[in-house]
Structure 1
């Protein structure tokens, strides 16, 4: 009887220990084995950090992995997918190709991608305002955040949409700069940092290509680029209209100073220490049961 009580007490102690492990502060898993691919696999840039500036560094696998190891409080650079989207040589044919970043996070494969014309406008490439596609959904949110929600679905919004389309605004919003990918071990939530402009109006105003549209935006307006993700058989798009100051800025004075964190629910994977604890408790009670049966 005394031995049985001792075994129960030890088991309870181990369960308490496992419970403590389970309620410990959450740690985060990061993306590993990062590789670049897609139909435009060579069209990317890697930015490292020098002081408080982001600077272009060589496109090597080691550099791609290294700049993704930060977080919202301390980004360590970024990888820009489909970097040529804003160049004058970028054509409609180019807009049908993508650049991807694929890696493993908590044992699961995750692919992040730049956007193509098909992603925005559908297989029929319908560029009409009012069409049922991502371009219209995103643009209506864009102008609503800018304070023009009252015009959604009207001729005024049509003119805004056509102006944005004509200046290459969708292409410019298709080349996400991935600064980090982390997963919360407790909740399974996967967070992705998108390095962008802390003030999109100021950035647009500095570029003759977009300057006319800048007057349409309020001061300090924030909007991230869009990233496409594929995870566990699901594909979707992520973007944000709220940034935090990244503490960094590119040498152009306007880029990478805003951090837009987007997220989606990933598969929660138990921590190894918790699994080992549960296995130990299971083994203890199995042994206790066998001994009790022998005694009986």
Structure 2
């Protein structure tokens, strides 16, 4: 697995191969972001700590699935936003370059969730991301088996309500890392390894019926070289980390992916090959000079 957190270009010179300086990630948009560091300063190896030190942004995003480390929470104040105010909320993004293509990772907006392509509606059953995601969530939580489809509309209404702020709270992904594997772009999302307790409080009377060991990530909007998608997961691995503030968050790593989008790395000759070509060029030039003199 090869990391491309720092984009670079290569050039072959007459006597050396040079690598361009790295590209730094930046926070753009509303800049409503919180940075959580790991094993840095007063934060131990098994903890994540709120730091908000922007100079640590690239380092925080430098992990992988085996060691996700810290994370950056986008739209960090989402839990206090009512549905009415959500309509006017902007997005917060991380921007960078991976393998020569621009990458933008963003929090979600009201229109991301509720736009049908012909209008915006919070109605249950509409053809939008909110209903698609909630159907996936409902099934993954075991509620489809326990309650049946008839109760799904009531559960959706509970999740939508301002007493829960469910969609707002699912709009604030915690980005742990970006890596590539072959042609796949991989993104780590920090969350709860066992999310039942967290989501039980968000579904009213239905919450207690969520299956044990339920896992779910927040949603991230990804645009990589013009390829755009909303990514989320219902499968996590343990991080062996806990956020010091609540002692619960960041225990699970949810890896999501855009498949087949990363271009192959530029082919750069080994130094010995370069010098060999230079030597061959010199011999050919000498041969031509000799022929011209005869």
Residue 255 in structure 1 maps to residue 246 in structure 2: no
Residue 119 in structure 1 maps to residue 112 in structure 2: yes
Kept in 2: contact 1:71–1:180 (CA 8 A): yes
1:54 corresponds in structure 2 to 48
1:92 corresponds in structure 2 to 84
1:195 corresponds in structure 2 to 190
- Cα distance, 1:280–1:179 mapped onto 2, change above 3 Å: same
Distance in structure 1 (CA, Å) of the matches to 2:204 and 2:243: 20
Q: Deviations over 1:219-240 (max 9, x none)?
A: 1100100000111112211000
Q: RMSD of aligned C-alpha atoms?
A: 3.0
Distance in structure 2 (CA, Å) of the matches to 1:136 and 1:275: 52
Kept in 2: contact 1:130–1:153 (CA 8 A): no
- Mapping of residues 256-271 of structure 1, within 5 Å: 256-264=250-258, 265-271=260-266
Structure 1 residue runs without a partner (length 5+): 1-25
Distance in structure 1 (CA, Å) of the matches to 2:78 and 2:3: 33
Kept in 1: contact 2:113–2:130 (CA 8 A): yes
Residue 140 in structure 1 maps to residue 128 in structure 2: no
- Mapping of residues 1-296 of structure 1, within 5 Å: 26-30=1-5, 32-38=23-29, 40-41=30-31, 43-49=32-38, 50-51=43-44, 52-58=46-52, 60-87=53-80, 89-90=81-82, 92-95=84-87, 96-122=89-115, 124-149=119-144, 154-166=149-161, 167-184=164-181, 187-205=182-200, 212-251=205-244, 252-264=246-258, 265-274=260-269
Residue 165 of structure 1: how far off its partner (Å): 1.1
Higher helix share: 1
Residue 277 of structure 1: how far off its partner (Å): 8.3
Kept in 2: contact 1:151–1:157 (CA 8 A): no
Q: Deviations over 1:173-194 (max 9, x none)?
A: 100000001123xx22110000
| Length, aligned pairs only | 261
Distance in structure 1 (CA, Å) of the matches to 2:279 and 2:147: 64
Distance in structure 2 (CA, Å) of the matches to 1:209 and 1:285: 71
TM-score by length of 2: 0.78
Residue 53 of structure 1: how far off its partner (Å): 1.2
Distance in structure 1 (CA, Å) of the matches to 2:255 and 2:206: 25
Residue 259 of structure 1: how far off its partner (Å): 0.1
Distance in structure 2 (CA, Å) of the matches to 1:189 and 1:107: 14
